[in-house]
Structures are given as structure tokens and as C-alpha cells.
Structure 1
């Protein structure tokens, strides 16, 4: 995060890509002696004929703001129909998005994210070109309002003088487009960017890792070498935890509890003594991608207690029993119902025995394009009125591919389609599942084995 610098010339930058439009700006003062400024990142997360999903992040570069409304106008007839993370209304071409109860206060350099669904009916869907925050234009820096001098103090006697304080602009931080490869529920609710373009910290021991994960503010944390630890290490909001080549965490796990906007990628976890990754207490917008898990005590990736908007993708689990639990208890429906929306795609469940995943309450939960090999217990279980779509997966040597209910948990609902079976039976289905709100590319199920084994697990991406 850059510190504003005093300059004589206002710097303004507008950068646009197909994935994101970033605008920021010089804000005219709305109250005496209050520095004002903002930056807006606008992106189209997915698009289909007649509709699209948009994500917006607004960053306050000036003095703290309590309560905000962001406005923009469309030039091609787009109409917003639904929003999350903000309350959105539209009058003609102008859209107004107002904070909800949990994100109304924006500290200096603080951000709020929200998402929306909208329609478009023309031949193109152009991004808006300008935004206002609380009715003041955004173009990328900050300015301190000025107080005119008293008459005659400068310039021609008897006329107002020149301002006593020049503008103080800042260079806009780099744009933060949506992470490459992110698909599924973590694209919703304003999207998931983790630490974004924040400074990078490299850690190589347990003490440094613990401190970096628990620090406030956005950060990109690179893990180097093998780190041995115990228990669960707390991960705070707006973090990207990224393993360098060969990065391994032994003996402990990561706990995302009540925080949001976290990315965990390219790490090897083994021999953990609790969970490897635990997402709980209404944590939202989490992406767990390209990790390898083996030989742990409890869950590899457990998601529970009202958490929401999570994508678990391209991970490999082997030599392990209890893989991925979604919803921890049959008695927690009051907190979990309406939440626990998770996408599991392109994971390699390599002999992992059970919970691949085991689902309570979440609807819709999307399990697509995963490779299941020789899972001794079962593949997918839908319980406690959950709604699970099992789509385009490859099952090989799996005696129990998917079913309704599990142990003492009552049945959920499960829809299966376009799966591929090798020495494995089709499983138990029943009921209906809510529709999937995001766009995704479904690989042909018969090709999933080769696709997943070539790409899943740590060390399979360039970081």
C-alpha cells in the first residue's frame, strides 16, 4: 500500500482490461479539511446471453467514511436485478449501490466488495467509465480541501487569495483483477482476491508464518521450505497464502474463523494434528486451490458454522481418511441453512476414504469434474436436506459413488448428471437442487482423469 506523496501535478491513471476496469480519482472535498479519494475495481466475473455477474471493490483512499453509496451509469441498457454485499437500485441508466450493515465503515485504505447480477440486451456489454463515491467523482488519488485566504492576503488587494494548501495526490496502487482460474462460489458475493496487489512477505519458520497470517490488513504471504508447527494457525482477512516450489506445512493447519477474502494455494500439508484447513464461523469468500494433503488426523478441508462462498479446486488428497466435511453437526441447521455454498471442482480424491465431500444443509453445493479413485468408504454424501449437484465426475473403482444420508444424518437431495463410471456403480439420487448462479466450463467426464491427474495438487501452477 503506497503512502500519498505531495506533488505539484495530479496523477491519474485509468487502466482497463477485459477482466477488470479500475478507476480511481481526485475527489473534490465535501467537508472542510477532509481528505477524500477512492479507487474502484469493476469486473465481469461471468457472462451469458442476456445476463452477467459483476464484481465491484471500492477502496477509500481518503479520510475514513461512515456510510457510502457508489454510483455509476451504463451506456448500453444494462439493468441490475440482484446484489449481494450492497443494496443496489437503478433509475434509468444510473445504478446506486449502498453499503449493508457490516461494511458501511471504510477506514483509510479500507475496501468493501459486492457483487450483482444484471441483464444486457445489446450487442455489447461495455464497462462503466466513471464512478462516484458519496456523490464525489473518483479518479485515483486524494486531495486535501483548501481554505481560501482572507481577502487581500495574496493576489490583487481586495480579492480572494490563492489556496493556502495545494492538492496532495497519490499514485494509485496497481489494479487487482480477479485471480486467474477462479471459478465457482468464491466468485460471488463481491468475489475473492485475497491479498490482491499488497506487498509480499516471505516466511520460512513457524513464528514468522504465525505472525504474518494473523496481521491486520491485506498481504501476500509466500511460504518457503518446510515449516513444522502444531495446532491451528489463525488466518485473518484479505490474505493470499502462496507456497513457493516445494513449500510444505507439517504438523499443523490453517484456521479461517469469521474472516473473509482468503486464498490458500500451492501448499503441501501432511501429518496435521487437527485439520489441515478449517473454515468456520461465517467465514466468506475463500479459495483453496492446488494444494496436496496426506496423512492427517482429521479433515483435510472442513467448512462449517455458516461459512459461505467457497471454492475448493485442483487439490489432491491421498493416504488420508476424512477428506472434506461441509457442515459439522446435524444440530446446526439454524446457522448453516442458507449458507455453506461451496464448489468442489477438479480435485483428485486419490484413495481418500470418505467425505469427498460429506454435505449438510448447503444448497446448491456443486461437485463437478473431480477424479475419484478407489475410495474405500464413499465418494459424496448429501445429508440433512442439503442440495448437491454431482456433475461430470470420473469414478474409478469406487463401490459407493454417492448417496443420500450418512450414519445418523438424515437424507439430503442429490442430482447426478454426465458422470463417467469405470468399475463403479451410479449412486443414489433424489429430490431437486437449487440452480447454479455462476458460469463454468464443464470438461467431458471421460477426459477428467487425465485432466485432473495432470494438473491437481501443489507444484502444478506457476507462482
Structure 2
């Protein structure tokens, strides 16, 4: 029986609970606090943001207004990057390379020229929460190269094709096997095309209580990955779940408790490793309402 120490709520309570300890893989391995109690600093330019998020000292960085930039800004360890109301990253993205203990929350990303958020090279304990992504070049949130213990929650992707890649290559199994453990919950894949997520090697990956609307496909498990897909709502999704994809060999996928509205038939095969943390499931019938009301930037207290 599934139990929980962090009950998912809706409305105003969701806004408050979103700032508490993460649910899912980011709660493991010592947990994820970001900059913790460091005194917040506010930045309004790309140069100030880049400086504030560098290094390994604990920092709470508040983004104010629209920051225009290009390329990728490197995020060091022990950082909370938090958007004030209306905060926008325009033209660039954030990259974590071997970084640990990072929270990215309440930001709108648009028109990025590489990835919006790139997590790689054994980055661990990362939370990507309550952000909005639209009209970028490549991935909204890409996780690869042995990164681990990550939660991606309450985000909205719209007006964009490639959403969330987990594992970048069929040839990277020696590095990725046993890593790339990620929880995706309460995300709103709002007319986005593919990769929600597309998974290689990781087991178990946990995908629960997300709302999918008008997508080409939902979740793809490939390259011996193991993905648990439960209590999501797939609304007009051509291929809700896939076992193997685009020439990549099959993984395993367990789907249960999901709601399929005007969607194709889900694929499932095999078993998945046990989820090690406590969590609470909403019924799939409630997911559309809670996720459309609560996902994305601006849906939590600044």
C-alpha cells in the first residue's frame, strides 16, 4: 500500500506546500535544500545572475524582471534560483554540470537557444519546480550523463516540441545505468510535442499525476529503463506510453490508474524497480483540475 508523508494538495495550499521539502527522488540521498537559509540577493541582469549562481557557496538568488541573454549560464552547487512575480529568462538557459543541491523555481523560460535547463555530468539532488517553458530551440529540461536524485514538478510546457529528455544517447549505458533516477509529478504538458519524458537506462523513473494535452506521445521507456506511470491524465495523446522508440531498444513500463481521454492505446511491458519514498496519489480524474490550476510559474507565492 502506498503511504505518504507529503500529501499533494490543490489551490492555495498547493502554493504553500510547493515550497516545502520535495516529493520524490530529490528527497533521497540527504534531500535537496538549495541555498537553504542564505540571505537572498536579487538580480536583474544576465551578468549579475551568472555571477550569483556560480561557485559552491550557499546562495538564494531571486530573479526580478526579464533577463535577456544567450547560450547557457552555469549553475554551481548549493543554489536556490527563485523567480519573483513575472520573472523571465529570455534567450538562454541554465546548465548544471556536476552540481549538487540546486532548486530552480518560479521562472518563465522563453526562446532559449540551446536547452532551457540542462542537468548533466553527475549532478545530484536537483528540484525543478513551478516553471514555465515556451518556444525554445531544444529541450525544456534535459537530464543526462549519470545525473541522479532529481524531482521535476508542477511545471508547464507549451508552444514547444521537445520537452524532457532523460538520458541522451543509446551508447551511454556504462555511465547512466543505475543513475538518472527522476520523479516527474504534476507537470502540465500543454500541447507540447514529445519527450514527457523519453527515458534511457534509468530504473525506476516515476511519472505520476501529470496532465497531458494534445501531445504526439507521452512517456517512452527505452534502453532497459524502467518507468512507473501512474494516475496521469492523457487527453488527446496519440501514443500515451511507448516501450521502445525511434530505433532505441525497449525498456520496461508499468502503467496503472491512468485516465485516457480521446487517446491511443498505451503500451506496457515488464516490471519496474520499487519506489523507495513515500508519496500520495490523486485520482487521475482530479489531475486535470489540480494541474491546470497549479502548474507553471506564478502559481506559488513569490
Give TM-score, length-normalised by structure 1: 0.61
Note the alpha carbon deviations across 1:98-152, whole angstroms, 9 max, x for none.
Answer: xxxxxxxxxxxxxxxxxxxxxxxxxxxxxxxxxxxxxxxxxxxxxxxxxxxxxxx
d(CA) in 1 for partners of 2:163 and 2:118?
12
Unaligned 5+ residue runs, structure 1?
1-46, 53-177
For residue 442 of structure 1, what is the aligned residue in structure 2?
281
The CA deviation at 1:179 is 5.1
d(CA) in 1 for partners of 2:265 and 2:150?
27
Corresponding residue to 2:55 among 212, 215, 227? 215
Contact 2:3 2:279 (C-alpha < 8 Å) held by counterparts: no
For residue 211 of structure 2, what is the aligned residue in structure 1?
371
Note the alpha carbon deviations across 1:381-413, whole angstroms, 9 max, x for none.
Answer: 000000000000001111110111111210000
Corresponding residue to 2:117 among 260, 266, 277? 277
Contact 1:179 1:193 (C-alpha < 8 Å) held by counterparts: no
Corresponding residue to 1:299 among 139, 154, 167? 139
For residue 42 of structure 1, what is the aligned residue in structure 2?
none
The CA deviation at 1:215 is 3.4
1:117-128 to 2 correspondence within 5 Å? none
The CA deviation at 1:181 is 5.1
For residue 169 of structure 2, what is the aligned residue in structure 1?
329
Point out the structure with max Rg over C-alpha: 1
The CA deviation at 1:48 is 5.9
- Whether 1:422 and 2:261 are equivalent positions in the alignment is yes
Contact 2:154 2:187 (C-alpha < 8 Å) held by counterparts: yes
Unaligned 5+ residue runs, structure 2?
6-17
- Whether 1:457 and 2:296 are equivalent positions in the alignment is yes
- Whether 1:412 and 2:251 are equivalent positions in the alignment is yes
Note the alpha carbon deviations across 1:155-187, whole angstroms, 9 max, x for none.
Answer: xxxxxxxxxxxxxxxxxxxxxxx9515100000
Query: Which has a greater percent of helix?
Result: 2
For residue 8 of structure 1, what is the aligned residue in structure 2?
none
The CA deviation at 1:327 is 0.1
Corresponding residue to 2:157 among 306, 310, 317? 317
Note the alpha carbon deviations across 1:415-445, whole angstroms, 9 max, x for none.
Answer: 0000011111331100110010000110010
1:36-51 to 2 correspondence within 5 Å? none
Moved over 2 A (4+): none
Alignment length (residue pairs): 289
Give me the CA root mean square deviation: 1.4
For residue 399 of structure 1, what is the aligned residue in structure 2?
238
Give TM-score, length-normalised by structure 2: 0.94
1:50-449 to 2 correspondence within 5 Å? 180=20, 182-375=22-215, 377-449=216-288
**SS of structure 1 residue aligned to 2:250:** coil
